[in-house]
Structure 1
Amino acid sequence: MNTNWIKVFIAALFEVFWVIGLKHANDFWTWGGTVIAIIISFYLMIMAGKNLPVGTVYAVFVGLGTAGTVSSEILLFGEPFQAEKVLLILLLISGVIGLKIVTNDYAKESEGA
C-alpha cells in the first residue's frame, strides 16, 4: 500500500478523535487534544493530497471519518444502535473502498513516463 494512502487512513482516525473532542471536550486538556488532533488530521490529509487526487483523498478522508465517528458514538458513548445506520455505514465504506481501488497514484503514473 502506498504511504500516501496510509496518511489518509491515519488522518481519518485523527478526524474521529477531533470530532468526538468537539462534542465531549470540557477542559483545557481535552480541548488541547482536540486542537492537536485537528492539526495532525489536516496536515496528513494535505500531505497525501500532494501525491494523490485531492477529490478522492477528501472523499476517503470524510467517508472513513464519518464511519468511524458514528461507530464510536454507538460503541463508546451509548448512541442507540440502528440497523439502518450500520447498513448506510457499510455502503459508505464500500464506496470508499471502491474509490481507493479505481484511483491511480500520481507516483505510479509518473514512474512510467
Structure 2
Amino acid sequence: MNVNWINVFVAAFFEVFWVIGLKHAHTPLAWGGTVISILISFYLMIMAGKKLPVGTVYAVFVGMGTAGTVFAEMAFFGEPFHLIKLVLILILLAGVIGLKVVTGDKEAKEKGVDS
C-alpha cells in the first residue's frame, strides 16, 4: 500500500470526527475541532486524488467514513445496534475493498507495477 492510499484511509478517519462533530458539537472548541477535521480530511483526499482515480478515492473515502461513523455512533453515542446494519456495513466495506484492489495508481502504472 502506498502513501496515497494511506492518505485516503487517514482522510476517512478524520471524516468520522467531522461528521460526528456536525451532529454533536455544541461548544466553540468542539466546532473548532470539527473544522480542523474537515480541513485535514479534505486535504488528504484531494492529495490522494491527484495520483489515484478520483472516483475510487471518493468511494473509498465515503465508504470507510460511513462505516466508521456508524460504528462510532453505536459505540460512543448510544445508537442502537441492529444486525442488519452490521451486515450492510460489511457489504459496503467489501465493495470498498474490492475497488481498492482493482484500482492502481498512476505512478505504479507508469512503472509497470500493480498496486
TM-score range, shorter chain: over 0.9
- Whichever residue aligns with residue 111 of structure 1, its letter is K
Match of 2:91 in 1: 91
Relative to the length of structure 1, the TM-score reads 0.98
Relative to the length of structure 2, the TM-score reads 0.96
Is the counterpart of residue 69 in structure 1 residue 69 in structure 2?
A: yes
Provide structure 1 residue ranges, at least 5 long, that are not aligned to the other structure. none
Is the counterpart of residue 30 in structure 1 residue 26 in structure 2?
A: no
Identical aligned pairs, as a percentage? 70
Moved beyond 3 Å, runs of 4+ = none
Q: Which moved more, 1:34-43 or 1:101-110?
A: 101-110
Match of 2:17 in 1: 17
Match of 1:103 in 2: 103
How many corresponding residue pairs?
Answer: 112
Q: Shift in Å at residue 83 of structure 1?
A: 0.3
CA separation in 2, counterparts of 1:91 and 1:67? 10
What is the RMSD computed on CA atoms of the aligned residues?
Answer: 0.5
